[in-house]
A and B are shown apart, each in its own frame.
Chain A
């Protein structure tokens, strides 16, 4: 912004040199080619004064690069120009001189350079100075400097001519000021919006780079473990130590890590496909109780291991919803798996459903460790792992809930989390029924990708 102002001030200094040359050549043309008669000497003196002032602006501008300084220079420049033009007009016919319309340039320049109120003020100063000069002339309060040869009869004493001149000039200037200022305002708004969009893009890009680093780290850690495990066998360290590290146990561990790595890459792929909208959702009308039944059955062994009971309620007569069965299974199973994983022995997981006006709500509540309030807003963030999640290391890397949220949102639904540390957490998914609201279009078909089974 400051740089911009500095450039504009410099530009106007350059323009003024052109204007000075213009005044001199226009005077020469009027005097010698067109044969008008007027006093050249005062014109030359005014031009010389303006040139001297412009030289001053040139050096002043170089010394003041701060915003108040540049604005001051801009104001002084505009005022100098106004006075110069009024004097030039006065010495060459006053109201008869048609160059009075050049005041429009000052108005436009003020409209570009200065705040609204100030540019209105400058326009008013131009109108007042010009009117004052014309009226002094008209009433004979100042000597008249004639422009002989332009009008057949001297017009500067004709009241109607003077009035019309003043009126047309004043309205022209105010309208020009208004247009310039509104265009500048709109340009400024656009510039601000662009700057903001650019800032957001840069931030998104930084986040993306960070996320790539994190993914790389998450991929590298298990790979490193597998490498070490294989190295132990390859170099014959196995069997020389203890019963714990026989070859079979080492291979088993390497296998488990590889399998986890595979799950991680699958999740990453799904996540990014979701993000691009290239994951195909085959939506069919079905009742969520079928999915919940399947998930609960799958989870039962691990729940029993942990001493956790899973129960259901409210699934009796739910309306059909349009969902992709595979990805919705992934959502429910992720939520139920978490509810079991972060539960305590003897705890319960309650999967409940409820018909709502705008859809079907499925809630998964547990009696587990809960989520600290500070972590709650971030649980759906990619790679976010809370303190409790980190304690159960190697069971995940913080992708599950991000994926769940994206799937739910791809169905036009919402997911929320609430929790009380030490008492449990509750995740609520809302899937719109679609008969009230317009059904959401599934993302465009872009390939043959299908959701892997969870």
Chain B
């Protein structure tokens, strides 16, 4: 595994998801920071200034993840930050959020359904980082 040292931040109020994501990413050589609290997430992201953000929709809290993503896009420093959004809501609501169709509404780079397979996550993170030239 290449120890590439890219910094990835995981924002999710499910500590188990954060743990598994962190394990997979660290095994792939990334540096991982985490935030378990939607309220303090924006500040934590600004402070950590990661190379890529993994963000949960956090439907239970009025889709706090959406708001975080939208706010970040308004800030010049994070307008081009790759955001990978994860969610478990697809199966029950049939809502399909996609950056192709909902690009204006949801300025994120990719969506993944929970639970996310570790290899898939690592692969997508690599692709997004490469595309962003980071």
Q: Is B43 an interface residue (CB 8 A)?
A: no
Q: Tell me how many residues of A have a C-beta within 8 Å of chain B.
A: 31
Whether A231 is near chain B, meaning CB under 8 Å from some CB there, is: yes
Near A by CB (< 8 A), chain B positions 74-127 give 88-89, 91-93, 114-119
B17 located at the interface, meaning its Cβ lies under 8 Å from any Cβ of chain A in the complex: yes
Smallest CB gap from A231: residue in B: B118
A202 contacts B by Cβ under 8 Å: no
| Beta-carbon contact of B118 and A237 below 8 Å | yes
**Main SS class of interface, A:** helix
Given contacts A240-B26, A240-B27, A220 and B20 within 8 Å (CB-CB): no
| One of A221-229, A297-305, A349-357 contacting the partner | A221-229
Q: Is B23 an interface residue (CB 8 A)?
A: yes
A257 within 8 A of B: yes
Contacting residues, chain A, for B114 (C-beta < 8 A)? 221, 224, 228
Chain B interface size band reads 20 to 34
- CB of A290 within 8 Å of the partner chain: no
- Residues facing B in A222-268 (CB within 8 A) are 224-225, 227-229, 231-232, 235-238, 240-242, 244-245, 249-250, 253-254, 257
A453 within 8 A of B: no
User: Which residues of B (10-32) have their CB < 8 Å from a CB of A?
Assistant: 13-17, 19-20, 22-24, 26-27, 32
Instruction: Give the most central of B16, B61, B91, B116: most A CB within 10 Å.
Output: B16
* Cα–Cα distance between A250 and B17 once the two chains are bound (Å): 11
Residues from chain B with a CB closer than 8 A to the CB of A249 are 19
Chain B residue nearest to A238 in the complex (CB): B23
| Pairwise interchain contact A217-B16, C-beta atoms closer than 8 A | no
Question: Chain A's nearest CB lies how many Å from the CB of B47?
Answer: 21
Task: Enumerate chain B residues within 8 angstroms of A25, measured Cβ to Cβ.
Answer: none
The answer to whether A220 and B118 touch (CB under 8 A), given A225-B14, A228-B20, is no
Whole-angstrom CA separation of A393 from B118 in the bound complex: 24
A216→B115 contact, CB < 8 A = no
Q: How near does chain A come to B100, taking the closest CB pair, in angstroms?
A: 25
Q: Shortest beta-carbon distance, B62 to chain A, in Å?
A: 9
**Complex formed: what's the CA distance from A44 to B62 in Å?**
79
Min C-beta distance of B31 to chain A, whole Å: 10
B15 proximity list for chain A (CB < 8 A): 253
Closest Cβ of chain B: how far from A357's Cβ, in Å? 44
Distance of A230 from chain B, by nearest CB (Å)? 9
Contact B16 A225 (CB under 8 A): yes
A392 to chain B, nearest CB (A): 11
Contact B19 A244 (CB under 8 A): yes
Q: Does A191 contact B (CB under 8 A)?
A: no
Q: Are A231 and B117 also in contact (CB < 8 A) when A220-B91, A237-B27 are?
A: yes
B11 to chain A, nearest CB (A): 14
Contact of B17 with A225 in the complex, beta carbons under 8 Å? yes
- In angstroms, Cα B20 to Cα A438, docked, is 58
Report the bound CA distance from A18 to B26 in whole Å: 90
User: Are A257 and B92 neighbours in the complex by a CB distance under 8 Å?
Assistant: no
Q: B73 to nearest A CB, angstroms?
A: 26
| Cβ-closest chain A residue relative to B122 | A237
**A389 (CB) vs chain B CBs: closest residue:** B60
Instruction: Please name all residues of chain A whose beta carbon is closer than 8 Å to the beta carbon of B24 when the two chains form the complex.
Output: 232, 237
Q: Does A183 contact B (CB under 8 A)?
A: no
Give the shortest distance, in Å, between B6 (CB) and chain A (any CB). 15
A250–B118 Cα distance when bound, in Å, is: 15
Binding site for A on B (CB under 8 A): 13-17, 19-20, 22-24, 26-27, 32, 60-61, 88-89, 91-93, 114-119
The 30 sampled A-B contact pairs (Cβ below 8 Å) are A213-B92, A213-B93, A214-B92, A216-B92, A217-B91, A217-B92, A220-B91, A224-B115, A228-B20, A228-B115, A228-B116, A229-B19, A229-B20, A231-B20, A231-B117, A232-B19, A232-B24, A236-B27, A237-B26, A237-B27, A238-B23, A240-B26, A241-B23, A241-B27, A241-B32, A242-B26, A245-B22, A253-B15, A385-B60, A390-B60
In the A-B complex, the 10 residue pairs with the closest CB atoms: A241-B26, A224-B115, A217-B92, A228-B20, A237-B23, A225-B16, A240-B27, A228-B115, A237-B27, A232-B20
